[in-house]
Chains A and B, each alone.
Chain A
Amino acid sequence: MLTEMIQQFTTPNTVPDMLLGYAFIFGTGLFYIASLMMRRRSLQRDLVVLEQIDDE
């Protein structure tokens, strides 16, 4: 009886949900890393501009 019930039970196909969940996880991570890189580059540009002002 129990064996029959187990055999009749089908695992749902939730692969698209899993992929969506991981897209959110990795998307958030990549977005944050990109924001760190952009801020660092912006600060480096500021430093260069400051030195240019000094040269003038």
Chain B
Amino acid sequence: MASIAAQPPIQSDSSAGPNQPVRSSNLFSSPLTLRLLTYFTVLMLGAAAYMAFIYAPLERSMGAVQRIFYFHVGAAWAGALSFLITALAGVVYLATKNRKWDTVAESSVEVGLALLTMTLLSGPVWAASAWGQAWTLDPKLNSAAVMWLSYAAYLMLRQGIEDPVKRARFGAVYGLIAFSSVIMTYFGVRFIDTAIHPNVMGPSASTGSGDFGMAPRMLQAMIFSFITFSFVLATLLWHRIRLGLFKQHVEQVKIAKFSQEAF
């Protein structure tokens, strides 16, 4: 009885057609590698916390609340990267019709949404302290909220489509369109000079240059946070993809059982 449950859900089968339920993937190597990556990511998070809380100097005008910056921006970076993966996986799905890419796209939306939630929840705490109000009608803030809603809608709308092929096609097209909200949030708002949310990297319309004059240790902590959250993204995404493939495997077993019973 335990044999099925104990088996790894991802099994190699390159002979499956593109529209067959996903049984396999050679893309995602051994669970040992995943376990090692998970442990490494936890260590990286510990080191990033050390750099944010201890290594980086205290910001003089805002105080300790500025330390939210390191994880806030790191999560925003990884969220955007995750949505880029969604768009790319959507393109690959449309080209190959292989459902594993739909699983990658769906997984990256879910992980990206979790990371963006971290950003959107921590940002207002910082803003309330630094600006005196948690939320303003700033273009970057509103654009980020639209981005969150767009990808939350992606997950909800998918649930309403029963046909897996239609669902995957819808997800691929939607993922591409929704990526415009990412471009708008991270690049488009730079051209609006009324924006008060600072741009961490690159120039803004109001200053013509980067808005952050960071001390070297702050910059090092920020870069380390970027690297750490890239690992967080890779780890969560890998776990989520495996879960998605496992779910397909269970559905496949269910269909096989019930079709046997029908005959």
Contact = CB atoms under 8 A, between A and B. Distances in A.
Interface string A1-33: 000000001011111011011101100110011
Contacts of A12: 62-63, 129
Which of the four size classes fits the interface of chain B?
35 or more
Interface string B90-133: 00000000000000000000010010011001100110110000
Interface of A: 9, 11-15, 17-18, 20-22, 24-25, 28-29, 32-33, 36, 39-40, 43-44, 46-48, 50-55
B78 to A, nearest CB: 11
B75 A25 contact: yes
Interface string B73-95: 00100000000000000000000
B181 to A, nearest CB: 20
Contact of B129 (A9, A14, A24): A14
B12 to A, nearest CB: 19
Interface of B: 1-5, 58-68, 71-72, 75, 111, 114, 117-118, 121-122, 125-126, 128-129, 232, 236, 239-240, 243, 246-247, 250, 253-254, 257
B5 A25 contact: no
Contact of A51 (B1, B58, B62, B239): B1
Given A28-B117, A32-B114, A17 B126 contact: yes
A17 B1 contact: no
B68 A21 contact: yes
Contacts of A51: 1, 3-5
Given A14-B64, A47-B4, 5 more contacts: A21-B126, A24-B121, A24-B125, A43-B250, A51-B1
